[in-house]
Each structure stands twice: as structure tokens, then as C-alpha cells.
Structure 1
């Protein structure tokens, strides 16, 4: 690939540095005493002014990326950016080794280079806290300039707009390193993600539950309705699947005597890309013995209260939906609504007869699905259609955190049958901001019922449902036959939870490196939006 003019200039600078005996990529430990933010916080004119009597100058050692530099003869100013922020540096010829300022700094160092600075903190005549450098070391040479912000003025309206390449979402996702370098607020999103995950871990650890690891490569996939990624193990000459869920392995641990286990892990589903879907994503799964879904709802309320406070400092979380910013209230308790009541409220059709304990027949459900704009095909069973109706007519309207409960059996092959509502299971999903954040059951532990449900899934797969599990997991059934205690299980989509807590519009904004089409064939939007 041909070099741009700026890239060629930097390579020339690189060669000149080496000719001058300056290693552009030295093997060195640069021990910093402060971050940029700490320098700004700690400097005090009354205690540290280097020109005032009775004060002790603040000496610091910092490191970071040099931003745009302004050379004024024998001195120069530039800003140094590190993870905490940026600080102005004052570089003066007479403070640096002979020849370094003119021959190296002015001629051969470029914005984007990583520098180590040692010096004294002072305040300029313009009032900006700065570091006067008496030691300046090149730590790493930048050969590619970061995108430069440009300001454009609309000639008709007079409106000005500032932008750079990293304003383009595709550029940002592909070159996340450039995005992070230019946008501290993007780094903050991922720091918040870190706090969210740690808060969940501490919450569950404090409750006495054990974090475990289960296989990502599995001989059979299960625990959710999704298409898997497939691979092959050469030595064993056997097909393997990337896990679509952790559930069946975690519940095996309950059989073995653990009473509370969880895993925060990558799952993989061979599905389309959208603002809310990435084929590789992060899930929390939790299973606790001797509990049920009512108990799990209360735990989720407490846990998400803690998560919200960790993320934004309050249980009131701003969330933008369809261009309007709402305040989501994550303080307990959350509203609870049975799924059939929610559908009835949205469509005017009650599809569950509580007195008879029966779900409407498939033809009746299909008619309602068509009424709300769903394309119905023969492979879609009654449970699948109910899920589609809910997703189309109800889910987008649920802004405040809401538990949707009591799903049909067909839609929930791993959930325990409802203790008082025939044809339904003890399951809930939490919806907030119009999207599902978590899914939970009173777990099915009857091995005979579980076998029958697996057989039903195989029938659905045979009929053309490509998300139904098409193989019975005999080892899991064997585990259940040894006896699994009654239990509650929970799955939380970490990526969607982070989206909600940081008010990000796309799952790609909370994944450091989302999956994209090959760069050579990518369109401006990169991938079609699904749903």
C-alpha cells in the first residue's frame, strides 16, 4: 500500500533519528510519579510555585502521547495525553541536552509520538498548569498520524461542525485504537463496563456463590435456542460446537453438590448482526439451589441497583430510545407482568385462558401474529409465534425495568412447569429501555419431563426451526437422573446491560473489537441492521 506524504515524512524522521543515535523504540522502564490528572489536582500555587519563596517546587515524571505541538523559536508548548487526561508541557532549548531541542525535538518528533517527561510544575501567564521539562525521552515513534479534527462551516446557515475520521462509526469499530486515542469518553465506556462486571462478581461472591469455568468447545450444544458455530477436532476426529450457553454444564455442578455457581463467559451464536446482536457476546449465568424464580427476581433487583450505582452513581440511569432520553429507575421493586397479559394489553387478544389453563391454538396465535405484522411460516410453532408477537408489539414499549413472567412451555424447554398455571412455566425476562436484559427460570429438574421437552425440540428442528436444538443431550439427562435439587437460574446479557448503563446506541459501542465484514468488501454501514 502506497504511503501518504505524512507517513513518508515520519519514516524519514525515523531514519534520521537512528542516524542521530536516538533509538525510536528503546527498551526502557519509564517510572512515572504522576498521571496528568494527578498533576493538575496536586499542584498548588501557595505550596509549589517554583518562583515563590517558601514553596517547594513540584517535581514530576509523566509519560504519554504528544498532541499538536507549537514551536516558538527556542521554546515550544505541547499537550501530553495519558489515560487520565492531558497536561501542557513547556520544552525550552536551554533546559535540554545540547543539540537535542533543535536537532531532535523540533525536526524529528511528531504529534502522536510517545514521550517521557521529567520536570517542574508551574503555572503559565495564561493560567494553565504546565510542566517545564528538563528531561524529554522518546519512548515510541508514531509512523501514522492520528486523524485531525476539522471544522466546517455551512455557508448558508453559518453553523459550524467539528469532525474527524473517527466520527465515522465503521472507522471507529475497525480502528478502535485510534478511536480510543482520540476520544477519552470512549475509554470511559469501557472503564464503566469493567466496573459493572466487577460489581456483579463482588455481589455474587459476597452472597457465597462460586465462580467457575465451563467448556467453550462442546460435543453437543444446548441451553438456548440458537444456531451454533461448528468446528472439528482433528486428533479425535469429531465435530465440536462453540457454546451457545453455559446452562447445562453449570446445572451439572448442582447435581454434584455445589449450591450456587456462576460464570461470566463468552458465548457464540451463528446469527445476524444488528445494533443488539454480535455473534460473540458475554453472558452471566447463575444457578442457585433451593430457590425459585420469585426469589431470583428479588436478587436481580438488588444486583442491578448495585450495578446502576457503580455505573452512574445513582439508580436513575439515562437511556436514549428512538432519539428521546428517558430516565430508567433501577430502584426496587420492578413492575411484574405475565407475558399473556402484556400481549393482551398491547393487541387486545388474550391468548391464555386462565380458568381452563390452556394456551390458544396455533391458528389463533398465527392470526394475531399476522395482525401485528409478522411473517408467519409453517416452521413456527405456537411458542415461537408468541415470542414474535411479544417482540413486535410489547417489548419496544417497555421502557422502565419490567419483569415479564410465566411463558408457555413450548418456548421454555429448560424451565419448570408453573405450579398453578397449566401450560406455562416459571420464567421471567427483564425488559428495560425496550430490550431484554436477562432471562431466568425455576429450573426444570424432572429428567423424564426434560427428555420429553428435548424430544419436542428435535421435532421442531425437524420441521425447519433452525434455532431448535436438534440433538438430545443424554449425558445431561443422566446427570438429572442422579438428582438435581430445585434451583433458580439466571442469564444476563452483559453487553446489553452495559449498553443500558452507559446509554450507548449499539452493541458495537460496548465491544472493544466487534465482528465486522472483511474490510475490502465492507460498505459504509458494514452490516445490515437486523430487527
Structure 2
């Protein structure tokens, strides 16, 4: 930082401290007058409702119809002009303008209003009218200060533009940026749309444990905690999968959960330690059924929530109206690497040489399936721009998925990609208890060999399978990444209200 910038920053801080001190003096004066934070004002309408119902009315309409309203919100702007003033009020739905006249208010109130600050929360009553410029406004005859703000809002910005400040102080971001508010409104609509979609197909929404004695359902490093009363180690869940499949065993043949998962991993534009997932399971279905269901869900969501089946994301455009592409892991490697022949990724030693030539580090324990996935992730994943299902994942990297009847080397599994990012993962479930037990044992060996993300042996889950689970397919969809796509947000932090951040200054 240059000397000039340091001086400007110091001046800004000093000015902010001066304004805060001035506002505290105003609040002290309010305390001396009585109730400084009244709680008896009730509004009867919000700004968006007024604009929707009366925004297209001619000025003459209001001369003939006295529409009386009570509005409340944060004062975002104020323009004082002698005996009359204008103010902009922001509520949960948008903005409405107030027209405040000295002679229309109780004696002394207009003078008080002139001393109120941008950022204060007001309640106003009056009648609607339109200004000469055609702006719908409230001609105020009753005005109250409901909450005195002590800190000034960011100035000289079209909103709050410092990215880190937006994440750390989301409340300021939401006050200042309509774009941010709309992102989170759309997120809510997306989650509700998914619920309605699944409920209409007779799925049952359930809740499963967030704290688990055995972290299962995914290959990830868990957060560890301790239950004092039970004297036992517990883990924040990395996935709800094994509990949801226990419910399928119990007879809930269509279940889903939308909730948080926790993984003790790094931060990036695509990863947050806690994130929201949809997981759903359907008995008497296979992975083909879920690919079809997912394609219908996303295509309809694009139309109904986004308003178009053409999704624009970070300068690129993806067409959700066309059938989604489908290819296997092996087919995708060959498609995007025309210089690699099939025989070179069908043999372990040859595949290792391909990976080494690509600069991919490999562990001695990796089998052919794991090596293929390393090659796929390095050379293919980021190039899957259009909506694409990748199928036939190797059994080695799919410990919970059903083996393919045609080729036991791979499983009946898919992942869905768009914009070079994985959005969903699903498969026909492994319901062979003995096969599942053996795969758990293999995972335990990998964990003992140093793989911190390998799975534990879950004996109770194996016991559940031994009671018999019907043929079932299941899927997980990352809500945060889905919202990123539908809101054209470059970072996962843009779609999380309170993302995890490093300590300030690091």
C-alpha cells in the first residue's frame, strides 16, 4: 500500500469513527426521550406488492382513490428540500419512495426526520400518489424512527464492491446489492422446486443423523467431535447415504433428504467445508431411470426457474433443451485424447505410463480403475461443458455401487457434468451384503495404508443389507454448484450466505 493509500484509509477510518460517535449521541438522546427501539409499528404491505398492483396506474387514479398504506424498511437515500423531502425505503421486496412534508406531519417530527440518517429503519403511513416523473410514492402523514443505525452504510459505491467484505459481512452485501439478494431468492426457489418435483413423484422427505459414529457414504475426510455424556467419538456426516438406504430396507421405497454435509477439506471457488446436498433413493429403479429423472428435473427447472432452457454461465452458453450426452469413462478419455488408444488404458502398466506422461502422480496401491479415473480427472472433466452423463465408473473407485452385469470391472454408476463441473453422482445401489462387506474390507486396508479418505467398515449397514434391500438406485446432487450454474456465480461463496473464510488478514 502506498503512503497516499495509507493516508486515505486512515482518513476513512477517522471519518467513520466520527460518524459512529455522532450517531451514538443521537441514540442517547432517543433513550432519554423514552422508548428508543419501539416494537408496536405494523406494516400492511411491502414495496413489490404496491408496484405490482399500482405501478401502472395513471396519476389521476390516485386523485379519485385514496389508497392508504403502512410501509416500513431501511432508509437508503434522503433528499431534503426545505419544507419537503424525498426518501427511499428498502424492505424485503424492494424499494418505495416516501414524500415527506413538514406541514403534513405532527409538529416537530419533520425536524426530527431531517436529523435521521441513511441506514435508519423507519415506519411510515400515508396515501399513494405518483410524482411528476411518474414514480409511485407514499405521501407521508405519519413517520416514526424504529431502529437507529449506528454504523454508516458503504458510500460512493453502487453497492458493496469489495469481494471479501461481501462474504464476511453478508448483511451489508444484502443491504447494498440487489443482485446478491436475487441470488439467494433464486436459491430458495430452486430448493423448493426440487421438493415439489420429488413430492409430486411420491418421494418422502426425511432427516438422518448429522453426527455419526461411523462416517460413511463417501470418500472424504470427516470432522471429528466428542460426545461427553456418551464418552464416544463422533463424526459430522460426510454423506447421509447409508442411513437413507437403511430406510429403503425398512420399506420407505422412495426417500430424499436436502441437508448439510461436512468434509474436512480445502477451500476453493468450488468447495466449502459444509455444503448442501440433495440425496434421493428409489427402489425398483436403476441408474438409467435416475439419469432420465435428473434430465427431466434440470430441463424443467431451467424452464420454470431460470425462464429459459439456454443457460449462460461465465461467458459460455449451455443448451438444456437438447438430450444430454451420455458416454462411459473410457469412451470420454478416448474422445478427448485422440492420441491415446484403448489398449493403453485397458492394461495397468500401460495406463500408468500414460498417466506418468501426463504428469499425474500415482500411488503404488492404485489399480487400473483408479489410474483411469486420475487420467479422466486430469484430461476430461474440465472439458465437459455441455450437459453430459459419464457412466461405467470402475468398481475400484465405486465401493457402494452395483457391479455391471456385462462387465464387473465397472459399475452401474454415472456422474453428471455441465460447465466442466460435477453436479450429480448416482448409481444402481449395491444390495449384495457379502459383496458390500468385502468392499468395506478393501476400504479398511486402503485406510490402514494411509488413505485418510477411505471408508470405515460399517457392520450395522451390512446387517441391514443382510435383511434384504430391493433393487435400488440413488443419487446425490450438489445444491450449491447447481445454484452457481443457475445464477451465473463464479464462486461457491457467492451462493452461500455465510461461507467459511480464513481469518481476516491471512
Indicate yes or no: 2:260 matched with 1:266: yes
Residue 406 (structure 1) aligned to one of 386, 392, 402:
392
Q: Which position in structure 2 is the counterpart of 1:295?
A: 289
Bigger mean CA offset, 30-39 vs 78-87: 30-39
Determine helix, strand or coil for the equivalent of 1:387: helix
- Gap regions ≥5 residues in structure 2: 1-12
Counterpart position of 1:78: 87
Q: Which residue of 1 aligns with 2:410?
A: 424
Structure 2 partner of 1:489: 474
User: C-alpha separation between the residues in 2 aligned to 1:350 and 1:238?
Assistant: 52
* Structure 1: tracts of 5 or more residues without a match: 151-162, 523-531
Q: Cα deviations across residues 402-448 of structure 1 (Å, max 9, x unaligned)?
A: 00000111010000001112311000000001100000011000011
Distance change (3 Å), C-alpha of 1:263 and 1:256: same
Q: Does residue 181 of structure 2 align to residue 187 of structure 1?
A: yes
Cα offset, 1:370, TM superposition: 2.6
Query: In the aligned structure 2, how far is the partner of 1:443 from the partner of 1:316?
Result: 33
Of 387, 393, 402, which aligns to 2:373? 387
**Match for residue 169 of structure 2 among 161, 165, 175:** 175
TM-score by length of 1: 0.89
The answer for the alignment partner of 1:106 in structure 2 is: 114
Q: 2:66 aligns with which of 54, 57, 60?
A: 57
Q: Which moved more, 1:2-11 or 1:187-196?
A: 2-11
CA–CA distance in 2 between the matches of 1:382 and 1:168?
47
Query: 1:310-362, CA deviations, whole angstroms, 9 ceiling, x for partnerless residues?
Result: 32112221111xxxx22212235211010111012223334579xxxx9421x
Per-residue deviation, 1:41: 4.3
* Mean Cα deviation higher: 430-439 or 363-372: 363-372
* Matched residue count: 491
Q: TM-score scaled to structure 2, two decimals?
A: 0.93
Report which stretch shifted further, 344-353 or 208-217: 344-353
Q: Distance in 2 between matches of 1:250 and 1:179?
A: 37
- Asked if 2 retains the 8 angstrom alpha-carbon contact of 1:315 and 1:329, the reply is yes
Quick check: 1:301–1:331 contact (8 Å CA) kept in 2? no
1:379 Cα deviation (Å)?
A: 5.3
Partner residue of 2:503? 518
In structure 2, the CA distance between the partners of 1:4 and 1:117, relative to structure 1 (3 Å rule), is: same
The 8 Å contact of residues 184 and 495 in structure 2, kept in 1 or not, is answered as yes
C-alpha distance 427-462 of structure 1, shift in aligned 2 (>3 A):
same
For residue 114 of structure 2, give the secondary structure of its aligned residue in structure 1: helix
Structure 1 match to 2:5: none
1:38 and 2:66 matched: no
Equivalent-residue separation in structure 1 for 2:65 and 2:422 (angstroms): 57
Is the Cα–Cα contact under 8 Å of residues 41 and 123 in structure 2 kept in the other structure? no
CA, structure 1 residues 518+406, in 2 after alignment: closer, same or farther (shift >3 Å)? same
| Alignment partners' CA distance in 1, 2:69 and 2:328 | 61
Deviation at 1:60, TM superposition (A): 1.7
Q: 1:229 aligns with which of 205, 223, 229?
A: 223
1:478 aligns with 2:463: yes
Change (3 A) 1:20 1:352: farther
Compare the two structures and name the one with the higher helix fraction: 2
Deviations 1:19-46 (A, max 9, x none): 344x331122413234255246415225
2:370–2:394 CA contact under 8 A, matched in 1: no
8 A contact 1:445–1:484 mirrored in 2: yes
CA change 1:39–1:117 in 2 (3 A) is farther
